[in-house]
Amino acid sequence: MIQAIGLTSTPRKELPPAVDNVSFEALSGYVTVLLGAPGAGKTAAVRLMLALQQGRGITYFRGRPLHRIAHPSREVGVLLGDVPGHPARTVRGHLRMLCAAAGVPVQRADDVLDVVGLSSLRDERLGTLSRGMDRRLGLACALLADPHTLVLDDPARGLSVRESRWLHGILRAHALQGGTVLFTTRDPKEAAQTADRVVTLEEGRLVADQEAAAFARTRLRPRVVVRSPYAARLGALLTKEARTARRSVEVVREDGNRLSVYGSSCADVGETAFRHGILVHQLADEIGDMGPLSAADGVPSPPPGDAGSTEENERVEGVPSHKVRSSEPAGLPALPPPVSVRPAPSPLRPLRYELRRAAGVGTGFFTVAAVLATSAVVSVVLACVGHTPQPRLLAAWPRELPLPPAALGAGFLGAIAFGDEFRHPALAADRGTVPRRLGLLTAKLLVAAATALMLAFLTVGCDLEVLYLVHGQELVDVPADWLPLSASWIGLVVGCSWAGVLAAGIFRSTTAGLAAVLAVPVLVVPLVHKVLERATVRTAAGFSARLHELPLMQWPFGGERYLTVAARMIAQPVGGALLLSLTALLGTYLLTTLRSRVR
């Protein structure tokens, strides 16, 4: 069950809070609806429950707050708005990526696709899905880890009647298996027809917590819907006859030729129309909304199953109550089979997730191809112009650019490493702290470093081949100081990729990650260069010889050479600036991680 206690959102400036001291319960085995007009605070309440929005209050899921649950995605399945996956990712690839994040077998993706009816679209791109298919995919993401609780924000919005009926059937089937279902809606009729309990919000406050039957009795009432080209005349006749017979009948003229008649029946309205020769196009019974609920109407009724419930609550005004479980309709949609989550998080789990995330779309491959093509063209142009040192020629790095194309490409690939974790509802159950976990950060840094190394070697190799084809052997000789040059090149590309990863994780923005990469040569390097040019700064001449003379340290295989190369790289303005930037970004990332855990 869900117990929400004192949910209060943090107000903005002088505006009232979107949610103000809201408390309610959603029982296991029942469907609970959070009802309210747009702006009533439904979405804010859900985000407060999942700790995705700052505020006060606490929510218990089967007696435990979400941050105390070992596997949050196993406990709570979330659907918030549209599925925010990459438009180029396939439906199956998207779910398999989430399987790696949740620690469930990849076969689970096919199971939930069969349940939601997307098996034939498993190879379709997310950007091509219709509204109904997108909602089905969102529900598949919520069911992926076999959660006990489903929390859905307006899941039927924009769906057809048939799709809405199917969705409500899935939710009912989940509740019948002992799960807890909580979803929001703005439609009172949908709440009365599909829920066991209705919690009504108005302007951020709780105004009612009722059974569906009691809600239908206090909020809804039957009416007769009439469509006629002579609606005005028929309405006047119905009002006159009701006044003559001293009956309480209310006639409401709606858009076009439609009338809503309260306090009458189809038989009485039809007889009146027949006696006066009025043509009727539609005549039907319907459940109408009585408008906003007042606080006086919001006295909580006993929860489902209490002794205070009476038989008259079983069915009120044509709206069925689901209190009697044996009367549930047969033929509900089948749910996916149970799945076992790994008992302990594997160190390879974040790495599997990151590999599926990175390889699931073609952005990385297109970026590598664009970097190679750009580097080849720039290196040829620089060779034709002349006056460019060979190291810069092989890196395709003109002095006019702050970074070579390979470093910019590696920084961009690092900046897009974060994204799905911030937006995806299936990961929202982890309190939005998935990007702050050090295991995931380590996996992203490893994948980013491997990608940057591959890009660095491919760029130099491609430039060598192109220069050899265009200009011959004279420009492709191996430099004598190839070791420090190679170390500097690898350090620059890998450092740029890590700067993009860390900045995107801190600021939750790809643009911020790329800006941090460009800030290293544009802003940090000039500052470091000025510091290194001061007369008070001493040089590190003879560093290698002094290392070799240390009696306590033996350097096999010429290890002092590699330390000398590393020291020389750090002493350079670009190396020092990059190391300083990475240290600051990593410290900030760790600080935000500790702050999120303290909360």
Convert 164-183 into a string of H (helix), E (strand) and C (coil): HHHHHHHHHHHHHCCCEEEE
Strands 180-185 and 31-35: parallel
Residues 6+ away with beta carbon under 8 Å from 587:
none
- Residue among 140, 91, 186 nearest 333 (CA): 140
Predicted pLDDT at 292: 56
- Residue among 150, 118, 143, 115 nearest 133 (CA): 118
Residue 90 CB neighbours (<10 A): 18
Model pLDDT for residues 583-595, shown as the tens digit of each residue: 899 888 888 776 6
pLDDT for residue 547 is more than 50? no
pLDDT, mean of residues 410-422 = 84
Q: Quick one: pLDDT band at residue 110, thresholds 50, 70, 90?
A: very high
Residue 320, both tokens: 């069925």
3-state secondary structure 43-63: HHHHHHHCCCCCEEEEEEECC
Which of the 8 DSSP states describes residue 438? H
pLDDT, mean of residues 83-90 = 85
pLDDT, mean of residues 509-518 = 90
Burial profile 176-194: b = 16 or more Cβ within 10 angstroms, e = fewer: beebbbbbbbebbbbbbbb
pLDDT, mean of residues 185-206 = 93
Conformational region of residue 247, where left means phi above 0, alpha means psi within -120 to 50, and beta covers everything else: beta
pLDDT for residue 17 is more than 50? yes
Predicted pLDDT at 49: 92
Rounded Cα distance, 546 and 289, in Å: 87
Domain 2-216 class, CATH top level: alpha beta
pLDDT for residue 326 is more than 60? no
Q: Are 249 and 262 in contact (CB under 8 A)?
A: yes
- Residue among 95, 531, 545, 8 nearest 356 (CA): 95
Predicted pLDDT at 568: 56
In angstroms, how far is CA 46 from the centroid of its own chain?
14
- Range 56-59, long-range pairs (CB < 8 A, 24+ positions): 56/6, 56/7, 56/8, 56/10, 57/4, 57/5, 57/6, 57/7, 57/8, 57/21, 57/22, 57/23, 58/5, 58/6, 59/2, 59/3, 59/4, 59/5, 59/7
Strands 31-35 and 315-316: unpaired
Residues 6+ away with beta carbon under 8 Å from 433:
596, 597
Predicted pLDDT at 507: 86
Predicted pLDDT at 60: 96
Predicted pLDDT at 321: 37
Rounded Cα distance, 166 and 160, in Å: 10
Q: Which CATH number fits domain 218-292+309-319: 3.10.180.10, 3.30.70.20, 3.40.190.10, 3.30.70.980?
A: 3.30.70.980
pLDDT, mean of residues 117-121 = 92
The type of residue at 203 is: E
Model pLDDT for residues 443-455, shown as the tens digit of each residue: 999 999 999 999 9
Rounded Cα distance, 80 and 52, in Å: 11
Rounded Cα distance, 111 and 97, in Å: 15
Cβ burial of 5 (10 Å; 0-12, 13-18, 19+) is: middle
CA within 13 Å, CB half, 424: 27
Predicted pLDDT at 567: 54
Q: Are 45 and 201 in contact (CB under 8 A)?
A: yes
Rounded Cα distance, 189 and 166, in Å: 16
pLDDT, mean of residues 146-166 = 91
pLDDT, mean of residues 204-223 = 87
pLDDT, mean of residues 218-240 = 89
Predicted pLDDT at 217: 77
Q: Quick one: pLDDT band at residue 420, thresholds 50, 70, 90?
A: low
pLDDT for residue 280 is more than 80? yes
Predicted pLDDT at 545: 54
Torsion from C-alpha of 94, 98, 104, 107, nearest 10 degrees: 0
pLDDT, mean of residues 138-154 = 92
Predicted pLDDT at 389: 86
pLDDT for residue 293 is more than 60? no
Q: Quick one: pLDDT band at residue 378, thresholds 50, 70, 90?
A: very high
Residue that is written with structure tokens 């509740």 in the block: 175
Rounded Cα distance, 92 and 125, in Å: 9
Q: Report the range out of 12-16, 460-464, 552-556 with the highest average pLDDT.
A: 460-464
Q: Are 437 and 350 in contact (CB under 8 A)?
A: yes
* DSSP 3-state of 421: helix
When the pLDDT of each residue in the chain is averaged and rounded to a whole number, the result is 81
- Considering the entire predicted model, what is its pTM? 0.75
Q: Are 360 and 389 in contact (CB under 8 A)?
A: no
Instruction: Enumerate the domain spans of the chain.
Output: 2-216, 218-292+309-319, 349-598
Q: Quick one: pLDDT band at residue 328, thresholds 50, 70, 90?
A: very low
